[in-house]
Amino acid sequence: MARPTRAPAAVRDADVLVLGGGPAGTWAAIAAARVGAQAVLADKGYCGTSGATAAGGNNLWYVPPDANAREESIRRFERIGGMLTERTWMARTLELTWVQVGQLSRWGYPFPTDAHGNVRRSSLQGPEYMRLMRRQVKRAGVTILDQSPALELLADADGVVSGAGGVHRQRADAPWAVRAGAVVLATGGCAFLSGALGCNPDTGDGHLMAAELGAEMSGMEFSAAYGMAPAFGSQTKGRMYQFARYYRADHSPLDPPSGPAGRSAACRTALEGPVYARLELAPPEIHEAMRWAQPNFFLPFDKAGIDPFTDLFEIRFVCEGTVRGTGGIAVNGDGCETTVPGLYAAGDAATRELVTGSRSGGGSHNGAWAMSSGTLAGRAAALFARRRVAGPGDLHPAGRAGVIGAGAMPPGEVIGNVQAEVLPPAKNMFRAADVLRRSAARLEQVWTDQVPQLGGDRGRQRAREAAALAAHARWMYAAALSREESRGMHQRDDCSATDPAQTRRLRVSGLKTVLVVPETGS
Amino acid sequence: MIEIISAAACIDCGKCVEICPTNVFDAVPGGHPVIARQADCQTCFMCEAYCPVDALFVAPCSSPAPPGTVFTDEARLAADGRFGEYRRWIGWGSGRRPGSLRDRNAELTELADPYLEGNPLA
């Protein structure tokens, strides 16, 4: 395949380029600027509204600096994370989250005060948090490129990452390029365009860019996260369902009707037919508190004329892939270095296994991880850029799948084929070797027959996204087949027990052929 | 999904075009923005939050509203106070208090704690 000749890109120079403007990207850009780096942040959408956090919010993993309290929390999450976490990373994340939440407070985030006069800082409302972060990014002197999806990384002759190129999608896909001393990928996880709340910008673009230069992934089998939403809508916010009872279409309650086991029963029952919920376990005196906690959970119900406390409403399960799952680009060092020189990963683009293991990080651990990994990655990238002796010489664009093809294949067809294998709970939530193998074979076909034909000059972002979804799905199922046990969110119906011998993380790599290797020393 | 840009209310500021995370709107020189790619709307309500004059209505459904439903009836929605609803909840706009000051998640977290143990997805 020949690289199509296109208009030359408008080139900028920076010390650090951050791709993605959610929490991890904004913290990274600010951290880089703090140590004197000139930073550019490019977001596919708009820094301030893009991604899962802005649309949702975070209930942070947030523990005061009390040695016993932190030790207790770490122990607890080690256990429910399937013992795949890393203590040093957990402690570091708790500390940095504490520090950065203090920073948010000094920047003026309007934290609430409870009935006892205590300021409560563990929860961040998405729109407020990300609007503030955008302001601080600008105040730090960072240049923001909005509506500017990155398509590929640039590398120097030694393979050191030295920038990225993309398009301005509101300017007829005019190309842009930033030459930089280091790049931070904060492009989010991958929810396969499932429509989960705020997750459609998260198509795993960063993972594909990283893999093209040889980066490894970790935890990709922990990608079976599904959010519950009212059947009519997109509000995949799970918290309020702690107050739910679940029912079949004939209004008979599920067994058990509520709690975590009730949720599992609801997932299973939904494979057969409609499932309904009602938040009837919430005592009336806390209804008001619930509304103010998550106004955008209730907003769609209000608009639809449904009272979720008294009316039954149908629910559906929406794939959240590696957004609420934990898999992502493996980090190899304390500064979130990937296995590729000059390339750093933060937030949901990186693996969160280190802090949340096999369990979903939801908004809590993922939110804390975004703050801390973003901060660490931004700083480390800035220091790396400063140490690079010569400025980058000739750079080569590393993008392949979805970038250099002729464009005969409509992206929508590839996206649909990938979605058919990863969105249905019958394939991805309740896993079994035979079903996984069939899906993996189909995905292999998509990758070898269809993805190479993606590309062309029209809709370049969508073509790249389609390729990224296909790559992501292949890594997921390769890892899922390799973990022959059940652990955390990875539930195998054909091997439902947890096998102590498999208490180790799995590294996945490769595009042409996918390789799964147990991590040494984990 | 986004259903309505109220021609009566819109001031052509372009904010919705600028901030939409999935690039649903197109600016129109000398006119109101248009909903150019409704299928890309992810029903995140961010445009409702950012519109300074409450000119937008995002229906609660993740697919386009069938014709004839209330979700495309601008007069009825306006009469019911359905424009700018998310912006009111989060307390944006002059004279409003940020909704985050009334955030009660911390208390709900304490209630939710036992729920977490048996639920890998909580």
Closest CA to A15 of A163, A167, A185: A163
B73 touches chain A (CB under 8 A): no
Residue A415 parent element (H or E): helix A411-422
Residue of A nearest to B82 (CA): A303
pLDDT at residue A1, rounded to an integer: 46
Mean local confidence (pLDDT), A119-143 = 97
* pLDDT higher than 80, residue B109: no
* pLDDT higher than 70, residue A183: yes
Average pLDDT over chain A, rounded to an integer: 95
Residue A313, phi then psi, degrees to nearest 5: -135, 145
pLDDT at residue A2, rounded to an integer: 53
pLDDT at residue B112, rounded to an integer: 61
- The answer to whether residue B107 sits within a structural domain is no
**Contact A54/B60, CB-based, under 8 Å?**
no
CA separation (Å) from A282 to A59, A298, A308? 19, 14, 10
Cβ–Cβ contacts within 10 Å for residue A172, how many?
7
Name chain B contacts of A300, Cβ cutoff 8 Å.
43, 60
* pLDDT higher than 80, residue A8: no
- Alpha-carbon B36 to chain mean position: 17
- Alpha carbons A468 and A470: distance in angstroms, whole number: 5
Read off the DSSP letter of residue A62. -
Q: Domain A411-518 is of which CATH architecture?
A: Up-down Bundle (1.20)
pLDDT at residue B117, rounded to an integer: 45
Residue of B nearest to A168 (CA): B23
Sign of the torsion formed by the C-alpha atoms of A332, A337, A339 and A341: negative
Locate the domains of chain A by residue range.
13-221+324-397, 225-321, 411-518
Cβ–Cβ contacts within 10 Å for residue A343, how many?
28
Q: What is the pLDDT of residues A405-438, one digit of tens each?
A: 888 899 999 999 999 999 999 999 999 999 999 9
Mean local confidence (pLDDT), A184-199 = 97
**Contact A198/B44, CB-based, under 8 Å?**
yes
* pLDDT higher than 50, residue B118: no
pLDDT at residue A34, rounded to an integer: 98
Average pLDDT over chain B, rounded to an integer: 91
CATH 3.90.700 assigned to A225-321: yes
pLDDT at residue A382, rounded to an integer: 98
DSSP A160-204: -EEEEEEEETTTTTEEEEEEEEEEEE----B-TT---TT-TT-B-
* pLDDT higher than 60, residue B79: yes
User: Edge-to-edge strand order for the sheet containing A275-278?
Assistant: A225-230, A313-320, A275-278, A245-248, A253-258
Mean local confidence (pLDDT), A167-191 = 97
Non-local CB neighbours of A249 within 8 Å, separated by 6+ positions? A273, A274, A276
Q: Comparing A208-222, A270-284, A382-396, which segment has the lowest mean pLDDT?
A: A382-396
* pLDDT higher than 60, residue B8: yes
Residue of B nearest to A169 (CA): B23
Mean local confidence (pLDDT), A171-193 = 97
B110 touches chain A (CB under 8 A): no
- The answer to whether residue B101 sits within a structural domain is no
* pLDDT higher than 90, residue B43: yes
- Alpha carbons A329 and A507: distance in angstroms, whole number: 9
Per the DSSP assignment, residues forming a β-bridge with A459 are none
- Alpha carbons B112 and A519: distance in angstroms, whole number: 34
In degrees to the nearest 10, what's the CA dihedral of A76, A77, A82, A88? -110
Reported ipTM: 0.95
- The answer to whether residue B36 sits within a structural domain is yes
When divided into structural domains, chain B yields a total of: 1
Q: What is the pLDDT of residues A41-68, one digit of tens each?
A: 999 999 999 999 999 899 999 999 999 9
| pLDDT confidence tier of residue A7, bands split at 50, 70 and 90 | low
Classified as helix, coil or strand, A122 is coil
Of A114, A120, A295, the CB nearest to B90: A295
Q: What is the pLDDT of residues A447-497, one digit of tens each?
A: 999 999 998 877 899 999 999 999 999 999 999 999 999 999 999 999 999
- The answer to whether residue B6 sits within a structural domain is yes
Interface of A with B in 66-85 (CB under 8 A): 80
Closest CA to A34 of A266, A369, A379: A379
pLDDT at residue A390, rounded to an integer: 62
Mean local confidence (pLDDT), A146-150 = 98
- CATH code of B32's domain: 3.30.70.20
The answer to whether A172 touches A226, Cβ cutoff 8 Å, is: no
Checking B67-76 for CB contacts under 8 A at 24+ apart, the result is: B71/A303, B71/B3, B72/B3, B72/B4, B74/B4, B74/B6
Domain interval for residue B17 = 2-87
pLDDT at residue B120, rounded to an integer: 43
* pLDDT higher than 70, residue A3: no
Q: What is the pLDDT of residues A449-459, one digit of tens each?
A: 999 999 887 78
- The answer to whether residue B121 sits within a structural domain is no
pLDDT at residue A455, rounded to an integer: 87
Structure tokens at A426: 């019958």
Q: What is the CATH number of domain A13-221+324-397?
A: 3.50.50.60
Of B23, B42, B105, the CB nearest to A198: B42
Q: What is the pLDDT of residues A272-324, one digit of tens each?
A: 999 999 999 999 999 999 999 999 999 999 999 999 999 999 999 999 999 99
The answer to whether A321 touches A490, Cβ cutoff 8 Å, is: no
CA separation (Å) from A337 to A19, A40, A162, A341? 15, 19, 14, 8
Q: What is the pLDDT of residues A248-264, one digit of tens each?
A: 999 999 999 998 899 99
Residue type, A141: G
Of A239, A293, A296, the CB nearest to B45: A296
Share of chain A above pLDDT 90, in %: 91
- The answer to whether residue B21 sits within a structural domain is yes
User: What does the radius of gyration of chain B's CA atoms come to, in whole angstroms?
Assistant: 17
The answer to whether A381 touches A32, Cβ cutoff 8 Å, is: yes
